[in-house]
Amino acid sequence: MQPPEKTVETKRIFQGRVVGLRVDTVSLPDGGTARREVVEHSQSVTILPVDGQGNVLLERQYRKPVEAWLLEAPAGGMNEGEDPEAAARRELREETGYTARKMEHLASFYVSPGFCTELMHTYLATGLVAGRADPEEDEHIDVTFVPLCQAIKMISTGEIVDGKTIAALLLAEKRLNISS
């Protein structure tokens, strides 16, 4: 099936450390044109670490764009050419200090395909081994363990509002056959 839009012009607006912005002019099937604003973002990973007692390791960190402290699964961007599982292992270790004996791919999904190119790969991490975190200079992360069943309920109560974390929790709940 052919895409209904064809890019006829691309204008680069901004390139930052995390995102780029371009405006594509596209031709439409009716002969008209339209402009599409596109946020370019590298692929990323999110990891749901679950210990042997069924507790999930979550991070509490301040997110400036929404001016709020959020409870989230560990996550981060992939480096150019990096394998998704290798990125998941790296991010888990850097942000939490933990490593995982087993890393299982649950799903990959576009974060917000209406305007952003980011493809996120979600992993379930088990067989956790504690270590020392090595966060980036601008990351201030508090980690906490929460029973997985409680974390699932925290979605409905509005205590967990981060989309990637909600997806990871629901995917893990199904994979682990846990009923909340």
3-state secondary structure at position 150 = helix
Q: Which helix (H) or strand (E) holds 55?
A: strand 55-63
Amino acid present at 116: C
Choosing from 85, 137, 159, 173, which is the catalytic residue?
A: 137
Going by C-alpha positions, the residue among 117, 112, 119, 118 that lies closest to residue 24 is: 117
CB 125 within 8 A of CB 92: yes
3-state secondary structure at position 151 = helix
- Residue 137 is among the residues annotated as catalytic for this protein: yes
Cα–Cα distance, 41 to 58 (Å, whole number): 24
Active site residues: 137
